[in-house]
Amino acid sequence: MKNVFATRWGIIVVGAVIGVLAALLQKFGNPGNMGICVACFERDIAGALGLHRAEVVQYLRPEIPGFVLGAFLSSLLVGDFKPRAGSSPLARFLLGMCAMIGALVFLGCPWRALLRLAGGDGNALFGLVGLVTGVGIGTIFFRYGYSLGRTYRQGWGVGLLMPIVMAGLLVLVFIFPQTEGQPQNGVLFYSVKGPGSQHAALAISLIVGLGVGAIAQRSRFCTMGALRDLILFNHWHLFSGFLALLIFAWITNIILGQFHPGFVGQPVAHTQSFWNFAGMLVAGLAFALAGGCPGRQLFMSGEGDGDAGIFVFGMIMGAAFAHNFGLASSPNGIGPHGIAAVAVCLIVCLCIGFTNLKKIGE
């Protein structure tokens, strides 16, 4: 059976649907220009679990488990569920950490970079240029034979781990729901102010998460892959979905009165242009070297890809580091150790890149 989602029109429709849903999630309560942000939402989950204690970014965002479980159910339904793992897990964990730290210097993942631009935040342009540069550097590594090695088939149990973990997180939300004005219920922390306190109703977030997970899994939607394939092969397939997300989020924002062009005073954003660029450069390079944007890593982990699951946990750990040690930015600007974090993460990514050039001398 032909996979209509993987056709040119399929990927465009998926990008458009994600763009519209993301803008609607903002209308329903998610933070400004943050209808969907994989990095921010995983950071909020790290906060909800107490892995960091930044009080304004603690909420177990149901969209993330929704993405994984939507992709899991979709892949199970059509036979795409293939448990696999074993391709340089530690390198992927560290790439996940670097990707998250870079994204939190910019304040957003590639999805949010598009949504910020679609909401009129000019600072996102510097992040997007950084993203293109980072992915571009990644393609140079691929041209010279970069590979993290082959992955291997695993038993069903391994493939089920990530969906089970995500289902477990959802169970925690139902056992310990948010109590009005309270910063904690049982094992979960909740923000009472700031971006972590702004969210759509649980059912809406979960349903959108499941839906996006399913269609993104079928279409192979990937914001990093969009840029990588364009730079590396001049292939426009994924990029057409990337553009559709931007355009349809922008149109929806205009209709909903959420488009506010400018640089200053944008929601959950700072105006330090170079560090917006550099943070996203590091994130883009890390996503490229790991083979997928943060959303795609979640969808692949739902398909049974244990290596993608490792990357996701690396990102969550990176978020904990970023907020525990002053690496993450805030609307006031970069964190006290943000510059050092960008430098260290860039060096880590370059080391992983150079030390995995398999074909040198062949």
Partner 1 sequence: MAEIVDARGLSCPQPVLMTLTKIKELSSGEFEVVVDNEVSRENVSRAATNAGWQLAQEREENEEFHLVFKR
Q: Which of 27, 55, 142, 160 binds partner 1 (CB under 8 A)?
A: 142
Nearest Cα neighbor of 21 from 225, 214, 228, 300 is 214
The verdict on 152 binding partner 1 (CB under 8 A) reads: yes
Pick 93 or 250: Cβ nearer partner 1: 93
Binders of partner 1 among residues 57 to 96 (CB under 8 A) are: 79-80, 82, 84, 87
Site string for partner 1, 246-275 (x = CB under 8 A): ------------------------------
The verdict on 182 binding partner 1 (CB under 8 A) reads: no
Q: Are 138 and 285 in contact (CB under 8 A)?
A: yes
Q: Which stretch binds partner 1 (CB under 8 A): 41-49, 64-72, 98-106, 224-232?
A: 224-232
Q: Which of 42, 63, 121, 229 binds partner 1 (CB under 8 A)?
A: 229
The verdict on 151 binding partner 1 (CB under 8 A) reads: yes
Q: Which two tokens stand for residue 321?
A: 């580091």
The verdict on 154 binding partner 1 (CB under 8 A) reads: no
CA 343, CA 299: separation in Å to the nearest integer?
A: 29
Q: Which residues pair with 121 in a beta bridge?
A: 262
Pick 6 or 251: Cβ nearer partner 1: 6
Q: Which amino acid is at 232?
A: L
User: In terms of C-beta density within 10 A (0-12 exposed, 13-18 middle, 19 or more buried), how is residue 101 classed?
Assistant: buried
Nearest Cα neighbor of 178 from 19, 6, 44, 334 is 44
Q: CB of 224: closest distance to partner 1 in angstroms?
A: 10
Q: CB of 8: closest distance to partner 1 in angstroms?
A: 10
Q: Which two tokens stand for residue 89?
A: 């897990």
Q: CB of 242: closest distance to partner 1 in angstroms?
A: 15
Q: Which of 129, 167, 207, 232 binds partner 1 (CB under 8 A)?
A: 232
Q: Which of 108, 291, 294, 335 binds partner 1 (CB under 8 A)?
A: 291
The verdict on 179 binding partner 1 (CB under 8 A) reads: no
Pick 145 or 261: Cβ nearer partner 1: 145
CA 36, CA 252: separation in Å to the nearest integer?
A: 14
Q: Residue 6 in 3-state DSSP?
A: helix
Provide the CA 156 distance to its chain's centre, in angstroms.
26
Q: Residue 197 in 3-state DSSP?
A: helix
Q: CB of 78: closest distance to partner 1 in angstroms?
A: 9
Pick 225 or 279: Cβ nearer partner 1: 225
CA 143, CA 39: separation in Å to the nearest integer?
A: 28
CA 90, CA 88: separation in Å to the nearest integer?
A: 6
- What residues contact residue 350 under an 8 Å CB cut-off, 6+ apart? 285
Place of tokens 């906060």: 47
Q: Which two tokens stand for residue 341?
A: 């974090």
Pick 220 or 270: Cβ nearer partner 1: 220
Q: CB of 295: closest distance to partner 1 in angstroms?
A: 15
Q: CB of 304: closest distance to partner 1 in angstroms?
A: 10
Q: Which stretch binds partner 1 (CB under 8 A): 26-34, 189-197, 227-235, 326-334?
A: 227-235
Pick 153 or 193: Cβ nearer partner 1: 153
Q: CB of 223: closest distance to partner 1 in angstroms?
A: 14
Alpha helix stretches (DSSP H) within the chain: 8-27, 38-48, 63-78, 89-106, 110-118, 123-143, 156-175, 202-219, 223-233, 237-256, 273-290, 294-302, 306-324, 338-354
Chain residues binding partner 1 by CB under 8 A are 3, 6, 79-80, 82, 84, 87, 142-143, 147, 149-153, 220, 225, 228-229, 232-233, 235, 237, 291
